[in-house]
């Protein structure tokens, strides 16, 4: 099991662990990359439906906290995304 930050834990609790189309609206309305404090939380949210996190479609969500594609891919492998 992997550790999640408080923000990701709270959002996934609201989402029930997965995101459906209707739930994405809730997620996107409440969160932004500016609120992310680490790359792990950003990747978890991105994998669970926060599509706006990777606005330039380069595979790196929330570039304010995720610095490289390698870092993102390592986290994705760890969490099974």
Q: Where are the domains of the chain?
A: 6-79
Cβ(28)–Cβ(50) under 8 Å?
A: yes
Model confidence, pTM: 0.64
Distances in whole angstroms, Cα of residue 75 to Cα of each of 33, 57, 58: 17, 17, 16
Distance CA 30, CA 75 (A): 23
Tens digits of pLDDT across the chain (81 residues)? 344 454 444 444 444 444 444 444 444 446 789 999 999 999 999 999 888 999 999 999 999 999 999 999 999 999 999
Cα separation of 1 and 67, whole Å? Answer: 24
């Amino acid at each position: 099991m992997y550790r999640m930050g408080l923000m990701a834990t709270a959002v996934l609790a609201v989402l029930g662990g997965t995101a459906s189309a209707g739930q994405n609206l809730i997620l996107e309305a409440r969160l932004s990359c500016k609120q992310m404090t680490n790359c792990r939380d950003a990747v978890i949210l991105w994998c669970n439906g926060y599509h706006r996190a990777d606005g330039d479609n380069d595979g790196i969500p929330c570039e304010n906290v995720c610095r490289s594609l390698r870092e993102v891919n390592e986290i994705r492998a760890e969490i099974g995304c």
